Amino acid sequence: MKKISILGSTGSIGKQALDVIKKNANMFEIVGLTTNNNIHLLFQQIIEFRPKFVTVMDESKATELKNLLKLHNIKVDVFSGMEGLINIAKSQENQLVLNALVGIIGLIPTIEAIKAKKDIALANKEVLVTAGEIIMKEVKNMGVKLIPVDSEHSAIFQCIERIDDKNIIAKLILTASGGPFRGKKLSELKDVSPELVIRHPKWRMGKKISVDSATLMNKGLEVIEARWLFDIDIDRIEVVIHPECIIHSLVEFIDGSYLAQLSYTDMKVPIQYALTYPKRVKSSINRLDLAQIGKLTFEKPDFKEFPCFGLAIKSIQIGGSMPIVLNSANEEAVNLFLNNVIKFIDIPYIVERVMEKHDVKYNIDIKDILYFDKWARNEVYTVIKQRGE
């Protein structure tokens, strides 16, 4: 049985991963689970999956969970805060750590798990956006596997996993749905509500990634992620809008051949592949009916109306600390939008202004990443204040 810990087990990816594990109960054993503050769902997961350790980021909620477990005479070690995340991530009992956290909070636990020589199933794209070079060097040094969970990167991974010579790859092509506002002008979206923005036409995702999908920032972050995951130059990565969301990404080879991975929009497909890798096991997802689908269509992305994608590409072209600033400013701006503090169309404006204020540093380390993360978040509020004056 493969021993697994899930960082972020009460989020969208974490819950779907546990569904996959439940359907393949003879293959997996849960070592650890974590949540930010959703202790009631975590409590249910503890009862069902019997982990050895859990972490609650919120210390007061961790205490509340301890009392709840004691009341029901359930013995589980309960940790809290970042130290708790790290304890679970680097546990010697793990064989695989699924990072399903949202945001840069997943960075340090991922590094600690890699240093402990644990394989990583990565759904937390901000880790590679902010520290891709550092992470991939550590993966190589420790001899561990990093298996992507994002549907687009899983698709590419599956297409090229047995290819030794990357020189035969002409380019990677990431597909995008276009989000809920495909075909709209930015001027039409001035007053859209968070409830409307997170209503994705194809995928069931968390709130933050749903907003990123609507601004096309998500696709920019995925390009940066692909650059590090597959060690390929940014100018060999393209994006195409594919509204049907059947093809999850493609690889073009130097002889003009293409490979693609296809399936219906169900995150359990890439999640299961990451958890069972290198094996493939039977699943209960719906099989494609190509005749019923009828046609697959493709469009060029409208990066003029949705400038977040261009900002992401600009950040990786500049390099150094700029992708950190992009990511952190975006995280903070998205959170403010979800809490009705700013408008949807303010997100790219704020991110761009913060990037303009940043003096780029190269040859960065983890301390630099954490410093620039905090700097960018603080600068978001400076931009908002200056705009209102």
CA dist., res. 108 & res. 90, Å (int): 11
CA dist., res. 6 & res. 219, Å (int): 25
CB-CB neighbours of 254 under 10 Å: 10
| Global model pTM greater than 0.85 | yes
Cα dihedral sign for 227, 271, 124, 143? negative
CA dist., res. 27 & res. 283, Å (int): 13
- Alpha carbon distances (Å) from 137 to 17, 131, 249: 27, 10, 25
Q: Are 46 and 73 in contact (CB under 8 A)?
A: no
Q: Which residue has the tokens 């997170």?
A: 198
CA dist., res. 58 & res. 259, Å (int): 45
Residue 53 has which token pair? Answer: 């350790």
Residue 339 has which token pair? Answer: 């809490």
Residues 6+ apart with CB under 8 A from 161: none
CA dist., res. 230 & res. 225, Å (int): 9
- Report the pLDDT value the prediction gives residue 162, as an integer from 0 to 100: 87
CA dist., res. 273 & res. 289, Å (int): 21
CA dist., res. 250 & res. 248, Å (int): 7
CA dist., res. 281 & res. 253, Å (int): 28
- Report the pLDDT value the prediction gives residue 109, as an integer from 0 to 100: 97
CB-CB neighbours of 263 under 10 Å: 20
What are the structural domains, with CATH classification, of the chain?
2-148 (3.40.50.720), 152-264+286-308 (no CATH), 319-389 (1.10.1740.10)
Q: Are 44 and 15 in contact (CB under 8 A)?
A: no
CA dist., res. 121 & res. 359, Å (int): 33
Q: Are 55 and 14 in contact (CB under 8 A)?
A: no
**109: three-class secondary structure by DSSP:** helix
- Report the pLDDT value the prediction gives residue 166, as an integer from 0 to 100: 87
Q: What is the pLDDT along the chain (389 residues), one digit of tens a residue?
A: 999 999 999 999 999 999 999 999 999 999 999 999 999 999 999 999 999 999 999 999 999 999 999 999 999 999 999 999 999 999 999 999 999 998 899 999 999 999 999 999 999 998 999 999 999 999 999 999 999 999 999 999 999 998 889 899 999 999 998 888 888 887 888 889 998 888 876 666 778 989 999 999 999 999 999 999 999 999 999 999 999 999 999 999 999 999 999 999 999 999 999 999 999 999 988 899 999 999 999 999 888 888 999 999 999 999 999 999 999 999 999 999 999 999 999 999 999 999 999 999 999 999 999 999 999 999 999 999 998 75
- Report the pLDDT value the prediction gives residue 183, as an integer from 0 to 100: 80
Helix (H) or strand (E) holding 178: none
Which residue in 34, 45, 97, 47 sits closest to 75, CA to CA? 47
CA dist., res. 367 & res. 117, Å (int): 22
- Report the pLDDT value the prediction gives residue 64, as an integer from 0 to 100: 97
At residue 16, what is the residue type? Q
Q: Are 336 and 373 in contact (CB under 8 A)?
A: no
Which residue in 128, 107, 100, 88 sits closest to 222, CA to CA? 128
What Rg, from alpha-carbon coordinates, does the chain have? Answer: 21
- Report the pLDDT value the prediction gives residue 201, as an integer from 0 to 100: 67
How many residues would you count in the chain? 389
Question: What backbone phi and psi angles, to 5 degrees, belong to 328?
Answer: -70, -40
